[in-house]
Amino acid sequence: MDFPQLKVQFREHRNAPRLIDLGGFLVRKGSHMPHLSIEFSEGLERNYDMQLVCETLFTELSDGTVFEAADIKVRAKPVAYFYIGTNPQTFVHATLLLMEGRDEATRTTLNRTIIETLRELLPDVGSITVQDLEIARATYLKNLA
């Protein structure tokens, strides 16, 4: 199968001096890129405003001490099929993806902030867990429009 050549054009970006072109991908130099992905038991969205949960977590993470607001991404999705070992049969699991190099104290503080916010916003959820994962800076790519 023959694929047409992909032509990528770059527009001026307000952070242009901080961007590096890696063969068609723009990568923010020094980016701390937190991605917070939240999985939750399907049905919680009927009792809780999950958009508000995302926005509140975004606000908590974007206080300026660790991250720039423009670098933060928070998303949530329901999980239809699950079974957990505790009751009630509801859960929220947050995974914080961080660029490598954060010290343990910073990661622990971030995880505590996330779990405390989730506990406050989702008080009746049976299980709330948070984990952080490091992403290798050398292999992470980002394409900005």
The answer for residues whose C-beta is within 8 angstroms of residue 15's C-beta and 6 or more apart is: 28, 70
Q: Flag whether 59 is in a domain.
A: yes
Q: Flag whether 145 is in a domain.
A: no
What predicted TM-score, i.e. pTM, was given to this entire model? 0.75
Q: Flag whether 3 is in a domain.
A: no
Q: Flag whether 100 is in a domain.
A: yes
* Two structure tokens written together for 105: 């104290």
pLDDT attached to residue 63: 80
pLDDT attached to residue 16: 40
CA distance 4 to 102: 41
CA distance 1 to 104: 48
CA distance to 48, 63, 101, 145, per residue, from 13 (Å):
37, 23, 26, 9
Query: What's the one-letter identity of residue 10?
Result: F
Q: How many domains does the chain have?
A: 1
Residue 69, domain CATH: 3.30.429.10
- Please say whether the beta carbons of 84 and 91 come within 8 A: yes
- Please say whether the beta carbons of 99 and 120 come within 8 A: no
Q: Flag whether 11 is in a domain.
A: no
Q: Which of 65, 66, 68, 54 is nearest to 114 (CA)?
A: 54
Per-residue pLDDT for the chain (145 aa), expressed as one digit of tens each?
444 443 333 344 444 434 444 445 444 444 557 899 999 999 999 999 999 999 999 999 988 678 888 889 999 999 999 999 999 999 999 999 998 888 899 899 999 999 999 999 999 999 999 999 998 888 888 787 7
pLDDT attached to residue 127: 97
* Domain span holding position 57: 32-135
Q: Flag whether 16 is in a domain.
A: no
DSSP 134: E
